[in-house]
Structures are given as structure tokens and as C-alpha cells.
Amino acid sequence: MRNIHHAAALSGNGQAPHLEPANLATARLWQHQTLRRCDAIQDSIEHLVTERGLTESVAEHATLQAFAELEGINKHHRIDVDASTSRLLILRTPAGERVALTITDLLALVAPTSLAEKGLTFQPVGHRLLVLSRAEH
């Protein structure tokens, strides 16, 4: 995860340093960590678009990466980005095992019936984004 610069740390010209979109998203998500997952993601995207002037695409990308980083704190599993491709996801377990999931495997895991069995559903966020969420009762 990238370092977050504090606005109080002014540069030599008296201006706050420019923050990267991922840092802005991380800060916003951290402030609203009590919100449900889809609400926190939606809030961050809207904030980055309306208050920071980012495009929706950049705001979504930054928010999703920041959310994953925050959610992954203290998790020992990780995605092996060097071994993964656009059609293969490799997860590394704490024991060093590799779990291979093809696009077919992932689609089966997120099929509506599979999700319903686990009490999960997809919630729309914005225009084109779906976020996994616990089903509301």
C-alpha cells in the first residue's frame, strides 16, 4: 500500500502535495470504514469524482484497489500477480501453496445460485460496477 501524505505536510511553495488517487481513496475509505462495503465504495467513488475532479473510471480503479488493500490487512493469502493472467488467477496460501482458478472456475463461484447458498449477492455501484455483498434479510 502506498504512503498517505498528510495535508498538513506542505511543500516549499505553501501548497499541500498532490495526492495520488489511490491515497485519496484510501483516506476516504478509512474515514467511512463503518459503512457497508458497497456503500463505502460508492461514497469514495462519488467523492473522488465530485470533490477531486477524477473521472469515474479512475475513481473506480483507485477505490477498488484501495478497498482491496485495506481489506487485505492482516490477511496472509495473496494474489500472485506475476503468475496470474487475464484468464487465470493464482492465489498464494500462507503455506506457499498455489491455488489456480480459471475464468470458468471464477464464473462458477460467482454464479447466482452459488452466491445465494453463501448468503451473498452482487450490489450495483455506479453505472457498470457490481460489488459482492452480504444478502440483506
DSSP assigned state of 70: H
pLDDT in tens, the chain (137 residues): 444 444 444 445 544 556 799 999 999 999 999 999 999 999 999 999 999 999 999 999 999 999 999 999 999 999 999 999 999 999 999 999 999 999 999 999 999 999 999 999 999 998 889 999 986 65
Torsion of CA 62, 66, 72, 77, to 10 degrees: 30
Quickly count: other Cβ atoms within 10 Å of residue 18's Cβ: 9
pTM to 2 decimals?
0.78
Could you give the 3-state DSSP secondary structure of residue 30? helix
